[in-house]
Amino acid sequence: MARSFVELHLPRRAGLMATGAFFAATTAYGIVLGDHIQSFREGAVRATAEVAAVTGLGVHSIQITGADETSEDEIVQALDLASSPSILTFDPFLARQRLMELPWVEEATVQKLYPNTLRIDVKEREAFALWQIGGIVSIVGRDGGAIEELTEPRFASLPLLVGYGANRGAADLMDIVRAHPRVAARFRAAVRVADRRWNVRLDNGVEVKLPEVDAAGAVAELAELDRDEALLSRDLVAVDLRLPDRIILKLSEQAAMQRKASFEGRNGRKNKGKSI
């Protein structure tokens, strides 16, 4: 559930207005003499912000919407209120730029609501898949961009894509797979091979080798064979769909032994009663 309000209470300094007046009256001569106009401008901005904070124009509250994965602390830190505690001098455009640098933030708007409130609306990226490259597993968005490293088990159910380029092809592959519920229900992971094609791993350990060209057609054919012949429920190790004119099935060791024994048994029955 998105957060709504963060209340900030800035320290109030008694007599700050009088100090500001004294500062303005006594520093002009030193500014001209020492050629410190730029530093004076910066000091004046800070003084204005402090005076505004005391007079009720400081940032007293922040309204945040849309932030589920991004913490309130991250947002407040990105706003950088320490350098500009006044709503008068606060720059929403710079604040938005800093917010856009946060890993989960896809879009952000920053509004100043006078006299003392900031409104932050955040649209976050959607966790689409897990991408493993080397020994690092990252959460990626639909666009393939890495959001952050996987640290929480609640994202473990996302499809796992492995290898160089797997993040860029994630959306296309998952659209193909999800178009066929029988295949999608068994999907567990996919390995990008030479950044050209996919090997898909199913929940029963079967490896499906997709072709470089027309992977969508190959998955459609696989789904049809499973519907008509329960292909994916057989005792298989791999289904090779890379050749356009044939499907190659690799049986498990046990299934291969049973098939061999059955074949030898049939030959034995054929030769029974014959003399050599």
User: Which strands, in side-by-side order, build the sheet including 5-7?
Assistant: 5-7, 61-65, 117-124, 105-113
Q: pLDDT value at position 252?
A: 84
State the span(s) of the chain assigned CATH 3.10.20.310.
5-124
pLDDT at 46 over 60: no
Architecture of domain 129-255: 3-Layer(aba) Sandwich (3.40)
State the span(s) of the chain assigned CATH 3.40.50.11690.
129-255
Q: pLDDT value at position 265?
A: 55
CA distance 164 to 144: 12
| Mean pLDDT taken over the chain | 82
| Choice between 254 and 98, residue whose per-residue pLDDT is larger | 98
pLDDT of 154-180, one tens digit each? 999 999 999 999 999 999 999 999 999
pLDDT at 136 over 90: yes
pLDDT of 208-232, one tens digit each? 999 999 999 999 999 999 999 999 9
Q: How far is CA 43 from CA 39, 48, 56, 68, in A?
A: 6, 9, 20, 38
**Chain position carrying tokens 């913490």:** 71
Helix locations, 179-252, DSSP H: 181-184, 215-229
Would you say the C-alpha torsion 44, 45, 46, 51 has a positive or negative sign?
positive
pLDDT of 175-205, one tens digit each? 999 999 999 999 999 999 999 999 999 999 9
pLDDT of 81-112, one tens digit each? 988 888 999 999 999 999 999 999 999 999 99
Q: Which CATH number does 5-124 carry? A: 3.10.20.310
